[in-house]
C-alpha cells in the first residue's frame, strides 16, 4: 500500500520542482549562486509561505482543540462566547468552551452534569432529595443503597424532590502552557470562579428543578497563591 501521508512542502521543494520544469541548456543554469537561480528562489519562496499557511490550516487551525488564528471564527460560528462564558477567559478556556459545545450530546443525569463540570475544570458531587412517602419509602439506614453518605428518604415537603445540591469540591486552575497560551495576554495561573459552572447548570437543569450550589468544601482562601498571577 502506498504511503499517502500528507507532509508540508517548503521553499526548497518548490525551487526543486521549478527547476525540473525548466528546459535543458546553457541558458538555464542550475547554479544556486547565479542571478537566475536567486530570482527563481525568490519567486518560489512565496509558494513556500503559502504552503506553510496551508499546513497551518490543515494541521492546527482545522482542529478546535488547537486553533489560534481562526479561534475567533470558530467562536463566532458556534455562538461563543455566550453569557455563560462571557467573563475574561484564557485562550485555552475559550477552546474548552468551544469543544464542549461542539461535542455535547445533552442529558439530565448525575453523570452528565458531573462530566460537564469536569470539562470546565471543576470537581463536584451532586445530592438529590426525596420526601418520605408511605408505601414507597422505607425506614432505617438507607445510606448504603444511596451514596454511602446521605439518607435516601427524609421527612419534608413533597416539593423537596425538585431541589438538588451541587457541592463544588475543587477549584479550577488554568496554567499557562507553551504553544497554547499567548504571552502578554494569558496569565501564568488563573483561578476560576464557578460562575460559568452555575450558568451552564441553570441552563441545562430540568426546568422544574431548583439547584443549590454548595462551596463549603472549597480550599481555604489562604491556600490560593495570588502572587503567582
Q: Does residue 225 carry a pLDDT above 60?
A: no
DSSP secondary structure string for all residues of 43-87: HHHHHHHHHHHHHHIIIIITSTTT-STTHHHHHHHTT-S-GGG-S
pLDDT (0 to 100) of residue 5: 60
pLDDT band at 164 (very low <50, low <70, confident <90, very high): very high
Specify the pTM: 0.56
pLDDT-derived band of residue 191, with 50, 70 and 90 as boundaries? low
Residue 139, pLDDT > 60, answer yes
Q: How do the domains of the chain map onto residue ranges?
A: 11-61, 106-228
End-to-end CA distance of the chain: 53
Spatial contact of 60 and 179, defined as CB atoms under 8 Å apart = no
Measure the CA–CA gap between 50 and 52, rounded to whole angstroms: 5
If you ran DSSP here, which 8-state letter would residue 207 be given? T
Share of the chain above pLDDT 70, in %: 78
Quote the cell numbers at residue 59: 494541521
- What confidence score (pLDDT) does residue 75 get? 92
Do residues 174 and 192 touch, judged by C-beta distance below 8 A? yes
Mean pLDDT for the chain overall: 79
Closest among 106, 107, 111, 147 to 130, alpha carbons compared:
147
Q: What pLDDT, on the 0 to 100 scale, is given for residue 80?
A: 87
| pLDDT surpassing 60 at residue 72 | yes
Give pLDDT, residue 35: 86
> Residue 173: pLDDT above 70?
no
Predicted confidence at residue 207, as pLDDT, reads 93
pLDDT category of residue 129 using cuts at 50, 70 and 90: confident
Lowest-pLDDT choice from 31-35, 59-63, 181-185: 181-185
Based on the number of CB atoms within 10 Å of its own CB, is 29 exposed (0-12), middle (13-18) or buried (19 or more)? middle
**45-83: string of b/e by CB count within 10 Å (b at 16+)?**
eebbeebeeebbeeeebeebeebeebbeebbeeeebbee
- The predicted structure's pLDDT at residue 88: 64
What does the pLDDT average to over 9-33? 84
Kindly tell me if the per-residue pLDDT of 115 is higher than 50.
Answer: yes
- Those residues whose C-beta lies under 8 Å from the C-beta of residue 16, and which sit 6 or more positions away, are none
Question: How many residues are given for the chain?
Answer: 229
Q: Scan for cell 408511605, then name that residue.
A: 134
Amino acid at each position: 500500500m502506498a504511503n499517502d501521508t500528507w507532509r508540508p512542502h517548503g521553499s526548497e521543494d518548490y525551487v526543486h520542482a521549478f527547476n525540473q520544469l525548466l528546459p535543458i541548456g546553457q541558458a538555464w543554469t542550475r547554479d544556486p549562486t547565479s542571478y537566475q537561480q536567486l530570482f527563481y528562489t525568490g519567486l518560489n519562496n512565496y509558494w513556500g509561505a503559502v504552503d506553510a499557511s496551508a499546513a497551518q490550516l490543515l494541521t492546527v487551525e482545522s482542529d478546535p482543540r488547537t486553533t489560534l488564528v481562526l479561534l475567533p471564527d470558530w467562536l463566532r460560528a458556534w455562538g461563543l462566547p455566550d453569557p455563560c462564558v462571557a467573563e475574561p477567559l484564557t485562550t485555552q478556556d475559550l477552546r474548552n468552551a468551544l469543544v464542549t459545545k461542539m461535542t455535547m450530546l445533552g442529558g439530565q443525569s448525575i453523570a452528565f452534569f458531573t462530566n460537564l463540570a469536569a470539562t470546565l475544570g471543576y470537581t463536584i458531587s451532586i445530592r438529590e432529595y426525596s420526601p418520605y412517602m408511605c408505601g414507597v419509602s422505607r425506614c432505617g439506614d438507607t445510606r448504603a443503597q444511596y451514596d454511602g453518605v446521605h439518607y435516601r428518604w427524609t421527612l419534608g415537603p413533597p416539593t423537596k424532590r425538585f431541589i438538588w445540591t451541587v457541592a463544588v469540591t475543587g477549584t479550577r486552575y488554568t496554567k499557562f502552557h507553551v504553544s497554547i497560551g499567548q504571552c502578554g495576554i494569558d496569565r501564568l495561573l488563573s483561578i476560576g470562579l464557578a460562575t460559568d459552572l452555575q450558568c451552564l447548570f441553570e441552563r441545562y437543569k430540568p426546568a422544574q428543578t431548583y439547584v443549590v450550589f454548595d462551596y463549603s468544601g472549597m480550599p481555604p482562601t489562604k491556600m490560593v497563591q495570588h502572587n503567582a498571577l
